Structure 1
Amino acid sequence: MERRDLEIFLILAEELHFGRTAERLHVSTAMVSQTIKSIERRIGVPLFERTSRRVALTPVGRRLEEDVRPAFLQIEEGIARAVAAGRGVTGTLRVGFVGTAIGQFVIGVADRFSARHPECEVRIIENRYADGTSQLHADEIDLLLAGAPSLEDDLAESPVLFRESPVLAVSARHPFARRESVAMADLTRDQVLMPRSLSQEVDELVVPPLEGLRRGPSFSTIQEMLALIGAGKGVFPVPAHAVHYDSRPDVAYVPIRDGQPFAWRLIWRATAESARIRAFVQAAEDAVKDDPSPLIP
């Protein structure tokens, strides 16, 4: 049964008058009559008693109205909320990030967004490094600030907001710690840590498949990664902001002179795009116009 058919039935059950029902729905009286006859044929019994003086629900019609109306109203309210969410900047927006510095940038953008759209709550949610885009797909967050493209057809992304040079995180006791810089080829001279659960395609955006490359222990979080590096268990390329925000006495950061920059952008599920998401992306773009290097203290 079509939604329009149910609507006609329920309004006629309220009005008990074909003419008034037609006026409310902006259709002809003939259409109301034809629709009710069609429903009655499908159900197999009359739903309304019709005389020249009155229209009344039959017992079956009354039972159908009692059963259907609550569900129909719930559907209508759900559609209305979805339309409002798509058109208006209200409700709740969940934004994911990885790392302290990225969190500070996201919070700054959220403040700018909230000043423009006070009726929309922003929730900041930390991702583990190894989560990748899984929280987006699980509908646990609406947006994710990521340092590389998504590589997934069902995800959309903003223009690149800002870029960062890569540095190699090594143990403070590592020979590389005394160098001014290293090359990507130098990664083959030690074990490179492995992010747990990330696909090979995503991992290779940060660690290219160099000949002779050896992979070391796996990690899920930035703190796990730094603990392993500080203990001399391997090395890993990270964004340059780590020098300031992830400083530790047992870890050194060495510039990678030929490394691919981290290109930060917002990512979201294409099917979930809304006015909230578009407004947050705009706030982020405006923020980097004011400060093109937002992670440099």
Structure 2
Amino acid sequence: MAIDSASPATPSSSSKSGEFANGMTKAPRNVAWYQPTLPKGLPELPHRIFKDYSNIPDSEIVDHIYRVRDKAWEILPYPCIGVFRFLDFPATLNPIYPEVLERVRNGETFLDLGCCFGQDIRKLAFDGAPSESLIGVDTEATFLELGYELFRDRDTLKSRFYTQDVFAEDFLAEWHGKIDIIFLGSFLHLFSFEKQKHVVSQLEKLLRKHKGAIVFGRHMGAENGGNLRKNALGWDLYHHSPETIHQLFDEDLEGKWEVESELVTYGSEGWDKGRNWQGNDVKQQNFWAKKL
């Protein structure tokens, strides 16, 4: 399936790379958030997906992941790429995932905003969701292309992918009022609280006007969050507390939400370098919000 690319991007020309890489022109490998290999080996879930969904022989899976990951690292040196966090398939880890999967299997439409390689879209398809009901969006078109390379499904996946900016006035205009479920993986924490409020207003345009529409995701969090903090990369990331994620949806002027969240250890099954470069008080927040 071809990418619908409103803003084409390549490794050398992406307008977003410099912004989100803090001006880096070369991705370093001597940093705590890059590891050359998986120190604990490949976790069971990605092994099953690459073997049974992508049909990659056992003996080739790990080297294949390393090759594609290193291509992505040279584009944007995100920690989620450097320490293989994309192999967590983070939507699966959210408590609301079983409901999401059932609803998409029954015909509802799912959008992954900031989808990177589209790994969560592949997990839903692997779990039996119809891939034509799945949509991915990212500002980096090359990540979307690398997703096809990573999962080897260009000729079989029927999902649609777009390269667009959530802050654009016409963001996904053709999908206004047609989406039932939206996933935000490692997305909201990139923006200040005021910008996040604008993101929520954009999500409102996309969601169907019915009770039970879902927004869920994960991002950086803290018990005493609610502020932008500079991390080791020099990025300002917003750390949500349980109170501030409720506040974000409480301030939505278009409707009312039921919001739940949990704070869990910042980590990943596939890596073990620790998290001191983020700060020992940094956690990961899973959240889910349902329209009332």
Give TM-score, length-normalised by structure 1: 0.29
Query: Highest CA radius of gyration, 1 or 2?
Result: 1
Give TM-score, length-normalised by structure 2: 0.29
Q: Which one has more relative contact order, counting CA pairs under 8 Å at least 6 apart?
A: 1
The answer to which structure has the higher helix fraction is 1
